Amino acid sequence: MACAGRVFVWWDRDCDSGGRPIRSDVRTAGRELWEQTCHQTMAAIDECGPAAELMENAIAQVSRYLDRIHAPFDSRKHGLVMVAFCRALRRYRAKLARLELVGGPEQLAERAPSQSWIAQADARLELENLVRRLSARNAEILMLRAAGHEWKEIASLFGTSVAAVRNGFWREIDRLRWNSARIEA
């Protein structure tokens, strides 16, 4: 499990961030593929640090998928875990390529959000206000997204397409922003 002379580990948990149990066959596949995924991460982005988070997310995603389709427990889930990990790594690498530097430390300090408790409280109040103004359906979608569900999972829960769920959600958010800006002006 070494990567450029350092040992990396990931937190092999029983439950995902949403509190849903992770299947043991998927966790076993993740442990057996860990060293290989570290090497792939190193080859793709020249560092191994993000491999742990990518692996955790891939394992949780595969476990949710297998539970959703009621797949039997089997010891060979390596292919699914590897595909999920490689997709996550590819998305992560694309995200890194999109990052744009804004300047040196002085410019970054100007752009840094305030860490005061007042700013945090204001942000929390604004979020609560937004959730109260959302329709029941979009409030539920927001909670599902906050719990880590993918758009595809949410669309299947609502019995509609991913585009319909996502576009409807963001359309309402934009409408609420526009109405807020109009009231403040």
Mean pLDDT over 9-28 rounds to 83
- Residue where a domain stops, chosen among 98, 127, 160: 98
| Residues 94, 123 share a domain | no
Phi, psi (rounded to 5 degrees) for 56: -60, -45
The CATH number linked to 122 is 1.10.10.10
Mean pLDDT over 41-45 rounds to 88
| Distances in whole angstroms, Cα of residue 115 to Cα of each of 110, 119, 122, 123 | 13, 7, 11, 11
Supply 178's token pair.
């526009």
Specify whether the CB–CB gap between 3 and 34 falls below 8 A. Answer: no
| Residues 122, 52 share a domain | no
Report if residue 134 sits inside a domain: yes
Per the structure, the complete domain to which residue 66 belongs is given by: 2-98
Report if residue 135 sits inside a domain: yes
Report if residue 172 sits inside a domain: yes
pLDDT at 185 over 60: no
pTM of the full structure: 0.52
Report if residue 23 sits inside a domain: yes
Supply 78's token pair.
């390596």
Report if residue 59 sits inside a domain: yes
Specify whether the CB–CB gap between 18 and 148 falls below 8 A. Answer: yes
Q: How far is CA 98 from the centre of its chain?
A: 17
Measure the CA–CA gap between 128 and 135, rounded to whole angstroms. 13
pLDDT at 5 over 60: no
| Residues 125, 73 share a domain | no
Task: Evaluate the CA torsion angle 13, 1, 3, 58 in order and state its sign.
Answer: negative
| Residues 119, 173 share a domain | yes
| Residues 18, 44 share a domain | yes
pLDDT at 1 over 50: no
| Residues 85, 139 share a domain | no
pLDDT bucket at 2, cuts 50 / 70 / 90: very low
Residue ranges of E strands in the chain: 2-3, 6-7
